[in-house]
């Protein structure tokens, strides 16, 4: 199963989670050739978010392989609200 960012999934251990993104971690990476030695892939996720995104301090990181073992159904794409703050001017 492919894990995609900005998506809400069911997870056996954490309940409903928001996948923020998936990162590739390299041992070495050549910027000129845009290639490298892949070390691992990690997923950033949270089980605590609101309509704007993850709550501060709630983001967790784990390997995609470990996370995928307990990942359930994709529920929907997360579409955050845009902040609309008043500047007072």
In 3D space, the residue among 36, 45, 41 whose CA is nearest the CA of residue 17 turns out to be 45
CA–CA gap between residue 60 and residue 25 (Å, rounded)? 16
pLDDT digits (tens, 9 = 90+) for 23-71: 999 999 888 988 898 889 999 999 999 999 999 999 999 999 999 999 9
Residue 88: pLDDT band (50, 70, 90) is: low
C-beta separation of 44 from 61 below 8 A: yes
pLDDT at 1: 77
Residue 87 CB-density burial (10 A; 0-12 exposed, 13-18 middle, 19+ buried): exposed
Asked whether residue 87 carries a pLDDT value surpassing 70, the answer given is no
Domain extents in the chain:
7-77
The answer for residues whose C-beta is within 8 angstroms of residue 19's C-beta and 6 or more apart is: 3, 4, 5, 6, 7, 8, 9, 43, 44, 45
């Amino acid at each position: 199963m492919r894990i995609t960012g900005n998506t809400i999934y069911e997870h056996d251990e954490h309940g409903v989670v928001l996948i923020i993104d998936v990162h590739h971690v390299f041992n070495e990476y050549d910027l000129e050739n845009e290639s490298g030695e892949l070390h691992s892939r990690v997923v950033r996720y949270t089980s605590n978010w609101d309509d704007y995104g993850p709550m501060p301090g709630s983001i967790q990181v784990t390997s995609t392989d470990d996370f995928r073992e307990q990942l359930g159904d994709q529920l929907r794409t997360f579409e955050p609200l845009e902040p609309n703050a008043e500047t007072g001017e």
